[in-house]
Amino acid sequence: MNIVVIGGAGFIGSHLVDRLLAEEHTVDVIDDLSNGSLANLADARRAGGLKIHHLDASSPEASSLLGMRRPDVVFHLGLFPRRAASVAATAGGVVAAASVLEACCDHGVGRVVVALPATALYGQPPVSALPVKEGAVDPRGVRGVVARGVLDLLVHAREQEMLEFAALALASVYGPRQRPSDGVVASFREALAEGFSPTVHGDGRQTRDFVFIDDVVDALVRAAERSSGLLINIGTGQQTSIRDLWNEISGGAAGDPIVGPGRREELIRFAVSPVRARIHLGWSPWTELADGLRRLDARPPASAG
């Protein structure tokens, strides 16, 4: 297949590119490198079959590229950077998504696969609702509002322009190449390597659903050919507290993390149900947290997300 990956120089995107090239697809990466890095694609560039375009995905040049390439699938992984400069920059994700979807419709793209942040999309689900299912969309913060807006745009494009889509709500993804500023697993590993105690916000009892990057990439690849018009959770369904995560990473040999002030709108307990993914994608997570942590390479954390 001919595939375009927007945000392909980022943490998730670069792993996806590696997988697509290994399966002998032709891949074009569109990335403005505001959050990603060409270093993440070093191995992919040596493999061949890859073209990288330093472009804003919302630009006329990116639209023209889609017109020339006529990709079978567009993956959009660049809508929700972890370090957006402002609320306005985060909100700009809706406009960015609209621009890309318009270009896809104009140039006959068959399918779009979009990654959304599950922790922002589902609000503060009660414990009784965990692991949360896809029907309970209740945005938390600006990122959540933008995620719902992107989902609405996808539904509109499908109904009006027959553009097929899959929207994957990703739990807390971790793995090689993730920057310490972009994920708690990478942050804790850096703290352990540097010999200092990490700071956690709140009491550390808040829980997250940690899913390994290889599992996530497999779900993305499956979504390129399966399921249409659905929001699908990608996670393990298992909760792990932040304190327990630190103990797992440190092996219990380091001290307790430093307790910092709680964040406003802090998510207390969270996990997503993978049942719909199992039904519609034939996907289930296979990497246990302990195994995923062991598989992280021993190199220093990557300089790009």
Q: Where along the chain do its domains lie? A: 2-174+210-235+274-282
Locate all alpha helices (DSSP H) within the chain, ordered by sequence.
11-22, 42-47, 60-69, 87-106, 118-121, 141-161, 184-194, 213-223, 242-250, 275-280, 289-295
pLDDT tens-digit readout, 18-45: 999 999 999 999 999 999 999 999 999 9
What residues are paired with 100 via a beta bridge? none
Main-chain dihedrals φ then ψ at residue 136, nearest 5 degrees = -100, 50
Q: Which element (helix H / strand E) includes 237?
A: none
Residue-wise pLDDT tens digits, 111-162: 999 999 999 999 999 999 999 999 878 999 999 999 999 999 999 999 999 9
237-282 pLDDT per residue, tens: 999 999 999 999 998 776 778 887 777 778 999 999 999 999 999 9
Confidence of residue 301 (pLDDT cuts 50, 70, 90): very low
The confidence score (pLDDT) of residue 266 equals 85
- CB count in 10 Å sphere of residue 220: 26
CB 285 within 8 A of CB 274: yes
pLDDT at 205: 92
Report how far residue 27's alpha carbon sits from residue 39's, in angstroms, rounded to the nearest whole number. 17
Contacts of 195 (CB under 8 A, 6+ apart): none
204 pLDDT higher than 70: yes
Strand-strand pairing, 199-201 and 26-30: unpaired
Determine the Cα–Cα distance for residues 240 and 206; give it in Å rounded to an integer.
8
* Cβ–Cβ under 8 Å, residues 84 and 44: no
Query: Which of 120-134, 192-206, 289-303 shows the lowest per-residue confidence on average (mean pLDDT)?
Result: 289-303
For 157: left if phi > 0, alpha if psi spans -120 to 50, otherwise beta; the answer is: alpha
Q: What is the pLDDT of residue 95?
A: 93
Tell whether the model's pLDDT for residue 298 goes beyond 60. no
SS3 assignment, position 30: strand
What pLDDT, on a 0 to 100 scale, did the predictor assign at position 85?
63
Q: What is the pLDDT of residue 304?
A: 42
* pLDDT given for residue 202 in this prediction: 83
Tell me the H-state helices in 70-196. Answer: 87-106, 118-121, 141-161, 184-194
Top pLDDT among 186 and 257 is at: 186
- Is residue 300 pLDDT above 70, yes or no? no
pLDDT at position 254, please?
Answer: 67
From the CB of residue 86, how many other CB atoms can be counted at a distance below 10 Å? 9
48 pLDDT band, cuts 50/70/90, is: confident
pLDDT reported for residue 125: 93
**pLDDT value at residue 203:** 85
Tell me: pLDDT of 299 over 70.
no
Structure confidence at residue 142 (pLDDT): 92
**H-run or E-run covering 114:** strand 111-117
Report how far residue 238's alpha carbon sits from residue 19's, in angstroms, rounded to the nearest whole number. Answer: 26
| Mean pLDDT of the chain, nearest integer | 92
Q: Tens digit of pLDDT for each residue in 211-225?
A: 999 999 999 999 999
Tell whether domain 2-174+210-235+274-282 is in CATH 3.40.50.720: yes
87-106 helix and 60-69 helix, angle to the nearest 10 degrees:
30
